[in-house]
Amino acid sequence: MRPELSELLRDLEAFGEANDAAADERSHKMLNITHDTGVFLTLLIKTGKSKNVLEIGTSNGYSTLWLADAVGEGGSVTTVEQAPHKLAMAERNFQRAGLSTRIQQIADEAGRFIASREVGEYDFIFLDSDREQYVDWWPALQRILADGHVLVVDNATSHAHQLVEFNRLVEATDGYLSSLCPIGKGELVILKDT
């Protein structure tokens, strides 16, 4: 990772923490992943040689920058966000990082976007959004994730109560293997092992 990107990520970490401590409304919080989660996602992407990544929940682009750096030259990250103020903030951060050419920002409702994608289109999916929607999204997520690749769900420990039904659904689905990793706020890693 370039020193300039490391510095920007440190700045965004500090901004996110200060912002979230001061914000009363959830919609104004950044709710960024932790630094160690960024490193973990990077390891997964690089070991899986993933080049076409989908992120649901951009926020200010902190996690997106980890993903975009990890895919390397020739890779791309599609990131979906609905909040206009977060889309604008993320776009500025992508420009500052010099990674905007690897990132496609989508302003849309995640479920609608996921439903529109092609079979096996993504070789890595990162979910950090409205956890209560994941059960409804699961059929489309299965379809768009390439065989032999992983989907990672953030907040699997910190918000475990919101993921109980989703976890049951994943465990009941043939051809998938999952493991809860105690990193950051908890990362549920789901392998499409078909």
27 within domain boundaries: no
Residue 1: what pLDDT? 86
Give me the CATH number covering residue 138.
Answer: 3.40.50.150
Tell me if 50 is assigned to some domain.
Answer: yes
Residue 177 lies in a domain: yes
**Is 148 within the bounds of a domain?**
yes
- Asked whether residue 3 is domain-assigned, the answer is no
In a domain, 45, yes or no: yes
pLDDT digits (tens, 9 = 90+) for 131-174: 999 999 999 999 999 999 999 999 999 999 999 999 999 999 99
Give 41-85 as a DSSP string. Answer: HHHHHHHTT--EEEEE--TTSHHHHHHHHHH-TT-EEEEEE--HH
Q: How far apart are CA 48 and CA 62, in angstroms?
A: 21
Q: pTM of the entire structure?
A: 0.94
In this structure, the number of other CB atoms found within 10 A of the CB of residue 47 comes to 9
- Could you tell me if residue 19 is inside a domain? no
Residue 23 lies in a domain: no
Number of H helices, E strands in the chain: 7, 7
Which residues span the domain enclosing 96?
A: 33-192
pLDDT at 26: 80
Per-residue pLDDT in tens (0 to 9) along the chain, 194 residues: 889 999 988 998 888 788 878 888 887 878 889 999 999 999 999 999 999 999 999 999 999 999 999 999 999 999 999 999 899 999 999 999 999 999 999 999 999 999 999 999 999 999 999 999 999 999 999 999 999 999 999 999 999 999 999 999 999 999 999 999 999 999 999 999 97
The number of domains in the chain is: 1
